[in-house]
Amino acid sequence: MPETNSSNSTFDLVIAGGGMAGSLLAWCLSQAWPNWRIAIIERQSKAQNNVPASFDSRSIALAAGSVALLQRWELWPDLVAKACPLEQIWVSDRGHFGKTRLTAAEYQQAALGQVFEVEHLGNLLVKKLAQQSTVTFFQPDVINAVTPTINQQQIQLSSGTELNAKLLVIAEGGLSQTRQLAGFTVSSDDYQQTAIIANLALAQSHQHTAFERFTEHGPIALLPLTGQRYSLVWTVDRHAAEDLLALDDAAFTAAIQQAFGYRAGIIKSSGARAQYPLTLRRPDNIVRHRTALLGNSLHNLHPIAGQGFNLAIRDIQALMLALADSNDAEADPGAYRVLRQYQQLREQDIKRVVWFTDALVRGFSNNSRLVALARNAGLAAMLLCDPLKKPLAMQAMGQGQSYAKY
């Protein structure tokens, strides 16, 4: 993977952010347009084995639609052995009667999705991109200034390097500084909650079953992993998070068991914990002049429904389609028609998923008896009436939005 400190380098695309979304986009672009010069600006230093520190030990639940795209992009064969099929999902409200279940068999699918640790995809992308002579990393480095001109974006890095790009794609995450430099404004809604992430070892098989359980302490998601393990995402208020993170491993394991109950079986132990403050961030636009947002820089969601990276994959798919459909893109990937189509492809999908996740957070974080009755009646109705839960299933499988060519 070439490194350079040369000044005044010109690229077809510059990607701000070399994490999951940015690296995956670079791989897809390098395969579809092998003559394009692509630069990736990554803040984090390389860690062991040249894997960027931005790839951590979190797990992701890939919807079936996202898995199909990774197959199309020739990545899934290297990941399938590390993934755990997700065959059913139980959604329940602890202490109330409401619950529903989604199964792959109901929708003639082998699995609703697949779950694996982020680092596996990170390792694979690092290996793949290292073999692409047209992809250049500037790492560790950050963008200090973005100056638009008619035909390109002029980009200055903190190292002093100056780049020119026909298109700048910002995929830095929810707190992106480049997004602000490029002129986007962002509205924020702080949930006053923290997500605690850890892997759990079980005393028995999880039967490829995931749980989304809403408790008085906050929603708990358990995602099945290989090796008789669960990935935990426990959402609690900020003060409770501090207390939970201060516990030793045995006490933390006991706290999970008590909060969740025994529906998922006996939890033997828990691994290292990480925390992520939760805020909904929405930029005012998807694109600006020769600039596109992608991934968490475009939609920074609550993890309650596991939709974040699935949305990012559809962002990549849509941008690839917009580039492929435009007569201008081969010579100018930052052309107005390309960006306009990308925005049109993404607007409704993002709005729907943001509304869906935000409604779940607010509906299940509300202690009102009327709200509790309404949400539990809804869950019970979905359990009894298959057509009512089909939209939830389609969202879980990532079938709500797709673009045929990419």
Contacts of 4 (CB under 8 A, 6+ apart): 136, 138, 161
Helix (H, G, I), strand (E, B) or coil at 24: helix
Distance, CA of 225 to CA of 167 (rounded, Å): 38
Contacts of 127 (CB under 8 A, 6+ apart): none
In this model, does residue 134 exceed pLDDT 60?
A: yes
Distance, CA of 193 to CA of 1 (rounded, Å): 39
Mean pLDDT, rounded, for 183-197: 89
Task: Give the residues across from 145 on adjacent strands.
Answer: 156
Q: What is the CA radius of gyration of the chain?
A: 21
Amino acid present at 296? N
Mean pLDDT, rounded, for 191-195: 86
In this model, does residue 38 exceed pLDDT 50?
A: yes
Dihedral in degrees, nearest 10, Cα atoms 54, 56, 58, 64: 60
Distance, CA of 298 to CA of 291 (rounded, Å): 12
* The two structure tokens encoding residue 129: 């991109």
Strands 291-293 and 218-225: unpaired
Tens digit of each residue's pLDDT (9 = 90 or more) over 90-118:
887 655 444 677 888 877 788 888 999 88
Tens digit of each residue's pLDDT (9 = 90 or more) over 232-278:
988 888 899 999 999 999 999 999 999 888 888 999 999 889 888 88
Distance, CA of 351 to CA of 371 (rounded, Å): 23
In this model, does residue 180 exceed pLDDT 60?
A: yes
Rounded to 5 degrees, what angle do the CA atoms 314, 317, 321 make? 140
Amino acid present at 189? D
Domain boundaries, the chain: 9-84+117-188+279-363
Distance, CA of 249 to CA of 302 (rounded, Å): 26
Secondary structure tally for the chain: helices H, strands E: 10, 19
Tens digit of each residue's pLDDT (9 = 90 or more) over 334-393:
999 999 999 999 999 898 888 767 766 655 554 544 444 443 444 344 343 444 344 544
Give, as one character, the DSSP assignment of residue 381. H
- The more confidently predicted of residues 171 and 271 is 171
**Residue 68 to residues 16, 64, 404, Cα–Cα distance (Å):** 26, 6, 11
The CATH code for residues 9-84+117-188+279-363 is 3.50.50.60
Structure pTM? Answer: 0.85
Residue 133's pLDDT is 93
Helix (H, G, I), strand (E, B) or coil at 30: helix
Q: What mean pLDDT is reported for the chain?
A: 82
Rounded to 5 degrees, what angle do the CA atoms 321, 324, 330 make? 145
Mark residue 115 as left, alpha or beta (left: phi above 0; alpha: psi -120 to 50; beta: remaining): beta
In this model, does residue 315 exceed pLDDT 60?
A: yes
**pLDDT range class, residue 403, cuts 50, 70, 90:** low
